[in-house]
Structure 1
Amino acid sequence: MQIGDIMTRNVHLVRPEENLQYAARMMAEWDIAFLPVADASGLVGTLTDRDIILRAVAPGLDGETTKVADIMTTNITYCFDDEEPEAVLNNMRSLHLRRLAVLDRQNRLSGVVSRTDFARHGV
């Protein structure tokens, strides 16, 4: 089994120029807490509900004028779709991460893997 076998493939993306209100509505509509951020060059960051709370809401930024690019995480932690699940899960645990972007070996976004995906597949 590889990460590609357990990851979520149907991933919703957000663009860096979108405002936070749009991103938050997207998260609410799809009941997700993590959005990969992509532009024409590919994956450029990630945005979580926690990012929105800590980096935008807490300091009082305006959700309509603040862009995703202003608060997204640009130091992207990811894994590859052909990696072994156990190794990826151990890495996520050591980094205290709940989800990761999954790339193919051409560095294109393939999906997202979460701790729930591991549990669902008995890893």
Structure 2
Amino acid sequence: MAKLIREVMTRDVEVINPNDTLRDAAEKMRTLNVGAIPVCDGQRVVGMITDRDVVVRAIALGKDPNSTQVADAMSPGIEYAFDDDDVDTVLNRLKEKQIRRIIVVDRSKKLVGVASLGDLTGEVSERKVGEALEGISEPSSPNM
């Protein structure tokens, strides 16, 4: 039987509020040694803030991290998997969406964890992980 994502995901995930500042987000990322944090408004997941979001959507545009809110720089839209999805399904979604991590929710859409490509390593064949990484790492066209 295929392994479920809930068996390999990271649980007890720290979150951040959309009204917190980018400095708060960066400090939390440093403290937790992570590159992304789910953004929650109460119990509802509203997005994800990544270290790249902070740099590209704020710092590079001259925005002040001490006053710019997480909501103004976070990745819009939410890619998620259900906790009863199998690992292969989630790996395919990561590849298809070209992302390295995904929010995991239960069937009532409550946050229960985060799954990263690293969490899936060792759970599926090296070939499948390699194919997913190749798809995720495929370069996008630069904006000119």
Residues of 2 paired with 1:19 and 1:63: CA distance? 6
TM-score, structure 2 length as denominator? 0.82
Residues of 2 paired with 1:73 and 1:25: CA distance? 18
Residues of 1 paired with 2:43 and 2:31: CA distance? 26
**Moved runs in structure 1, 4+ residues, more than 4 A?**
none
Residues of 1 paired with 2:43 and 2:28: CA distance? 22
Alignment correspondent of 1:101: 103
TM-score, structure 1 length as denominator? 0.95
Alignment correspondent of 2:79: 77
Gaps spanning 5+ residues in structure 2: where? 125-144
Q: Considering only aligned residues, what root-mean-square deviation do their CA atoms show, in Å?
A: 0.9
Gaps spanning 5+ residues in structure 1: where? none
| AA aligned opposite 2:114 | V
- Give percent identity, aligned residues only: 39
Q: Number of paired residues? A: 122
| TM-superposition CA deviations, 1:79-111 (whole Å, max 9, x none) | 000001011101101211000000000000010
Taking CA–CA contacts closer than 8 Å with sequence separation of 6 or more, which of the two structures ends up with the larger relative contact order? 1
Residues of 1 paired with 2:103 and 2:123: CA distance? 20
